[in-house]
Chains A and B, each alone.
Chain A
Amino acid sequence: MNLPIEHLLRELTPQVLGTVVRRFSDFAAAEDAVQEASIAAAMQWPLEGTPDNPRAWLTQVAFRRMADHIRSESARRRRESEVALEAPESTTIEAAPQEDDTLVLLFMCCHPALTPASAIALTLRAVGGLTTAEIAHAFLVPEPTMAQRISRAKQSIKNSGIPFQLPTTEERAKRLRAVLHVLYLIFNEGYTSSVGPNLRRADLSHEAMRLTRIVYHLQPDDTEVAGLLALMLLTDARRLARTSAGGELIPITQQDRALWDKQQIEEGVTLISATLPKGSVGPYQLQAAIAAVHDEAARADETDWPQILALYDLLRRMSDNPMVTLNHAIAAAMVHGAAKGLELLDALKVDPRVENHHRLDAVRAHLLELSGDGKGAVRHYRAAARKTGSLPERNYLLTQAARLSSELGLMNEPE
């Protein structure tokens, strides 16, 4: 597909979808209609030229599709059908984009009633404008499976009767959190998948950043939105240094900082610095602040670990996510010594959410190594290798165990 047209369509289709859903209420049918209009545009515009008002063009075509759809369900919907047929055929559709529609769409697609996988798929499709094939490819599932997920998600929304409007003020905070969570998941999926030249998946993290920017633009005073954007910028800035050419994982303390994106770091630091003083500090802002401290260190040994520890102390108070506790333990170890970190890990041993999680073993291994218990470290690196579901991570843990094992002359002790 013609690249400029592709970009234009991706930008316009969510706006058009908003207009159509506002008009006809049937989200699922509207999404289908807009998709059809988009396909028609992709075929006709390269041949006939892009129309003067591409948005109006798409909207008209989508309206006509909707009218056809309603007509074909005529019997019990005769009344609606008459109304639909009156839809304006002219180009008097409002020229000013209803920016709020993108936000409403996001709220809809990220509704807490949907499973994370459904919300992610629907968001990427309806708001991101990605094709089903692109989303399927990004998540390594067959296209019909992804199409089915999107279809079911649309059906859930239809069945739940969620109105096409911004959530009430009471609901707003909770719903916005749901949106940010979905965007965070998309970013994470893309960021952590960019092993080697796998551009398709790296696009996911950029897509997440693009959508988060839109939300930030629409809600500039929301500090957690700014926090999430900053977190993404500061994390993504390290992407090229995170894996070796062969796809091996490189921990942050060993990354080649010359490969970090300085401009993105500056943008992220500026953003989080401007946001924190506003006062309503939340988890994304704190994580962004932590990322900023890492990214601002010219060398690993210049990292301001006391600052990071203080931030994790704060983060722990607002989040009982065990991963936060793990990271807090690492920071504590860097400031107060490995013994302190290990002590903090013991509190997690009985947390059912993590007691069998590979990261607990991996962090324990790292701290045991720091504390001089090489044998214990090797054992836990291997235990972590046996538990992880990620291939690059398993490879990393196996090689750490082997490295340490050799250094200590512990070869051939499989446990």
Chain B
Amino acid sequence: MKFILMMGMNTSKESMSKGIMSWPKQDIEAHIGFMIGFSKELKEAGELVSAEGLAWPNEAKLVRASKDGTPITDGVFPESKEFLIGYWIIDVENAERAYQVAARASAAPGPGGAPLNMPIEVRQVMSGPPEEIQ
């Protein structure tokens, strides 16, 4: 079963003030090291389907089509929004295993090397295109 594990970044002033940019260098390095090791572990276990990091939320754009189809882009978002900052797609036996993997991701180290306990959203990934309507 394929699951997506999503890591978010909240852009509220409060969250940002505690965010990675406020940590000491060795804590940033430990966090990065953990993430690299974590993906590697999943890869070696044959559970990793894909993993990506996303660019910082300040560059995010919302796009709609105007009447003639040309893009209207807008970079304005609510002040405190949860942006996706990275994800893993894993292929595992069942939801319980997916939650275990997510718990591990959640425990990535933060300030002082302590586990962050980040909320990781877990959703199943649909296989195949939407079913034909009968």
B77 at the A interface (CB under 8 A): no
- Chain B's nearest CB lies how many Å from the CB of A12? 36
Q: What string of 1s and 0s marks CB contacts (under 8 Å) between A365-394 and chain B? A: 000000000000000001001111101001
Chain A contact residues: over half helix, strand or loop, or mixed? helix
B22 at the A interface (CB under 8 A): yes
A246: contacting residue among B25, B28, B36, B53, CB under 8 A: B36
- Chain B's nearest CB lies how many Å from the CB of A251? 16
Cβ contact within 8 Å between B25 and A402: yes
Determine the chain B residues whose CB is within 8 A of the CB of A395 once the complex forms: 28, 32
Q: Of B12-20, B65-73, B87-95, B124-132, which binds chain A?
A: B12-20
A414: contacting residue among B17, B53, B58, CB under 8 A: B17
Q: Tell me, in angstroms, the Cα distance from A264 to B58 when the chains sit together.
A: 42
Determine the chain B residues whose CB is within 8 A of the CB of A247 once the complex forms: 36
Cβ contact within 8 Å between A411 and B28: no
Contacts A391-B53, A395-B32 given; does A403 touch B25 at CB 8 Å: yes
B21 at the A interface (CB under 8 A): yes
Determine the chain A residues whose CB is within 8 A of the CB of B19 once the complex forms: 414
Complex interface residues of chain B between 13 and 43 (CB less than 8 A to chain A): 16-17, 19-25, 27-29, 32-33, 36
Determine the chain A residues whose CB is within 8 A of the CB of B76 once the complex forms: none
- Chain B's nearest CB lies how many Å from the CB of A373? 18
B59 at the A interface (CB under 8 A): yes
- Chain A's nearest CB lies how many Å from the CB of B61? 13
A115 at the B interface (CB under 8 A): no
Q: Chain A: interface residue count, which band?
A: 20 to 34
Determine the chain A residues whose CB is within 8 A of the CB of B33 once the complex forms: 246
Contacts A246-B33, A386-B59 given; does A414 touch B16 at CB 8 Å: yes
Q: What string of 1s and 0s marks CB contacts (under 8 Å) between A87-112 and chain B? A: 00000000000000000000000000
The closest CB in chain A to the CB of B27 belongs to A402
- Chain B's nearest CB lies how many Å from the CB of A197? 11
Determine the chain A residues whose CB is within 8 A of the CB of B25 once the complex forms: 399, 402-403, 406
- Chain A's nearest CB lies how many Å from the CB of B16? 5
Q: Tell me, in angstroms, the Cα distance from A403 to B28 when the chains sit together.
A: 10
Cβ contact within 8 Å between B56 and A386: yes
Cβ contact within 8 Å between B21 and A414: yes
Q: Tell me, in angstroms, the Cα distance from A387 to B59 when the chains sit together.
A: 7
Residue among A395, A401, A413 having the largest count of chain B Cβ atoms under 10 Å = A395
B22: contacting residue among A248, A385, A394, A414, CB under 8 A: A414
Nearest 7 A/B pairs, CB to CB:
A402-B25, A386-B56, A403-B25, A414-B17, A412-B22, A399-B25, A395-B32
26 A-B interface contacts by CB (under 8 A): A246-B36, A247-B36, A248-B29, A382-B21, A385-B56, A386-B59, A387-B59, A389-B55, A395-B32, A398-B20, A398-B28, A399-B29, A402-B21, A402-B23, A402-B24, A402-B25, A402-B27, A402-B28, A403-B25, A406-B25, A411-B24, A412-B17, A413-B22, A414-B17, A414-B19, A414-B22
Apart from A386-B58, A414-B22, 19 more pairs, CB < 8 Å: A248-B29, A382-B21, A387-B58, A387-B59, A395-B28, A395-B32, A398-B20, A398-B21, A399-B29, A401-B21, A402-B21, A402-B23, A402-B24, A402-B25, A403-B25, A406-B24, A412-B17, A412-B22, A414-B21
